[in-house]
Structure 1
Amino acid sequence: MLHQFTITKPFWELFPDVQVAVITVRGIDNHDHGQVPANLLREANDQVEDLIPYEPISKNPFIHEWREAFSKFKTKKGARFAVENLLKRAKKGNPVPSIDPIVDLYNVISLKYGFPVGCLDEDKIVGDMQLTVAEGGEPFTAIGEDDNEPALAGEVIYRDEAKVTSRCWAWRDSQISEATEDSTNFLMYVECLKPEWREDHKRVLKELTDSIQQYLGGDIETQIVTIEQPSITFK
């Protein structure tokens, strides 16, 4: 069955220059059989100081740009872009731990380059996907939580036809569509906030998909969504 991934007009009115890479990964075994070398994540944690050398963290240019972006829409108090907390904990000497193979591989990318990577279990997605602006009240239950925490009116969200899959852009993910070690098919997205970051974005996408292919195999497809091409089809 074919599905659409669409970025809607209300989002483009806020962020016309954003581009989002949508990656589908299918047919992998995501249980940890030692196929991802442990040193990849360890070295990525150790390199964080090079990526964000300045204190406070907001003085680092790309952190500042993401915080500026988050100031343009309604957010839950304390919400930051998806990578900031990873970088903070690693810099403070609390390394990001191994979780499962595909999460480890995309956390390596985020720690090394600062690009956020979202990842859902594709088989848990209901219908089409959107990156959009919430009307308010759309249901959401965060990973590790039991209570519904509906989206705020004006909040940037990812959603499928049944629920919010990520709140505050991709700050927190839904428990219902969570990718786990038992997942075999994944929908991933990697966001590029600024046009001047696009060459880095391209390199990051190649490194991410090459590493997934090298260590986990599977069928991988990457498509780019922009204001000129706001919708793509995935199976």
Structure 2
Amino acid sequence: MQFSHSDAIWQAFPELAAGALSADGVDASADVEEAIASFSAIAGARLAEAQESEFPEIQAWRRGFSRMGLKPTQYRSASEALLRRFRQEHALPRLHPLVDLCNAVSLAFAIPVAVFDTEKIAGDLQVRHATGHETYLTFSGQSEHPEPGEVIFADDEGRAHARRWTNRQSGLSAVRETTGSVLIVAEALHAGAGEDAASLVATLADAFARHWSVTAATAALSQASPRFAFQL
């Protein structure tokens, strides 16, 4: 299986830096509460100094959404949405140990983190512009068609696993109790994005070893090295 960004995405966003991780052997029994508390504390300390909208990581994604023709206060990157909710409620809902951990890491780094159940992905997965014929399944079970030109995560069968790039994932490949193998993608556009995305992925790889006794495969993606091939 392979994950990549299309050439058109790299041309439009040359500042993009991404990290990817794949792992098998995930389950819902891990206790990650201590790690969540640690990462949440990092986010809390940053939010005590400034609101998330002032973070350079968030500002960069806002500029990116504007370049995609989206109003950035209407469609927020996943990391901004998480930080905003955390600032308001001082906690995030618990869904699954891996999802909860990734959300906490996203808070700490202010970088969007997507987690996909690879068994629900047909063939390869690519971040590309939509044709308008792809199908997207909401968490409530409704089917949508992304707008032509919209940036999506699409598999080989034309199923969109995320809409508006880092805005909203699909319910189809969401992590559930039965999930065993995952692909995780972190993407950033700010100055220093390459180092931060690599550090985030290394942090998650360490967490997999610690909480699931799993050795994860990782990759740093750039325009010069745009593809991550991994075994399921």
| TM-score, length of structure 2 as denominator length | 0.89
- C-alpha displacement of 1:123: 1.0
Give the distance between the partners of 2:5 and 2:177, measured in 1 at CA: 28
Q: Deviations over 1:8-67 (max 9, x none)?
A: 122112101212212111022x223xx324233234334434223324x42333221110
For 1:59, the aligned partner's letter is: E
2:141 is paired with a residue of what secondary structure? Answer: coil
- C-alpha displacement of 1:165: 0.5
- Aligned counterparts, 1:52-63, within 5 A: 52=47, 53-55=49-51, 57-63=52-58
Q: Percent identity?
A: 27
- C-alpha displacement of 1:117: 1.0
1:64 to 59, 63, 69: 59
Measured at CA, do residues 181 and 74 of structure 1 come closer, stay the same or move farther in structure 2, by a change above 3 Å?
Answer: farther
More divergent stretch after superposition (64-73 vs 130-139): 130-139
Measured at CA, do residues 60 and 17 of structure 1 come closer, stay the same or move farther in structure 2, by a change above 3 Å?
Answer: closer
1:194 is paired with a residue of what secondary structure? Answer: coil
1:92 is paired with a residue of what secondary structure? Answer: helix
Do the aligned residues in 2 keep the contact of 1:117 with 1:191 (CA within 8 Å)?
yes
2:130 to 120, 131, 134: 134
Alignment RMSD, CA only? Answer: 2.0
1:93 aligns with 2:89: yes
More divergent stretch after superposition (157-166 vs 218-227): 218-227
Do the aligned residues in 1 keep the contact of 2:198 with 2:220 (CA within 8 Å)?
no
Measured at CA, do residues 89 and 187 of structure 1 come closer, stay the same or move farther in structure 2, by a change above 3 Å?
Answer: same
Number of residues paired by the alignment? 228
- C-alpha displacement of 1:75: 4.2
Give the distance between the partners of 1:129 and 1:25, measured in 2 at CA: 16
Give the distance between the partners of 2:69 and 2:155, measured in 1 at CA: 20
- Aligned counterparts, 1:62-211, within 5 A: 62-75=57-70, 78-143=74-139, 145-162=140-157, 163-211=159-207
Measured at CA, do residues 89 and 232 of structure 1 come closer, stay the same or move farther in structure 2, by a change above 3 Å?
Answer: closer
More divergent stretch after superposition (216-225 vs 72-81): 72-81
Give the distance between the partners of 1:73 and 1:154, measured in 2 at CA: 9
| TM-score, length of structure 1 as denominator length | 0.88
The residue aligned with 1:217 is: 213
Do the aligned residues in 2 keep the contact of 1:74 with 1:153 (CA within 8 Å)?
no
2:192 is paired with a residue of what secondary structure? Answer: helix
2:21 is paired with a residue of what secondary structure? Answer: strand
Structure 1 unaligned blocks of 5 or more: none
For 1:157, the aligned partner's letter is: I
For 1:159, the aligned partner's letter is: A
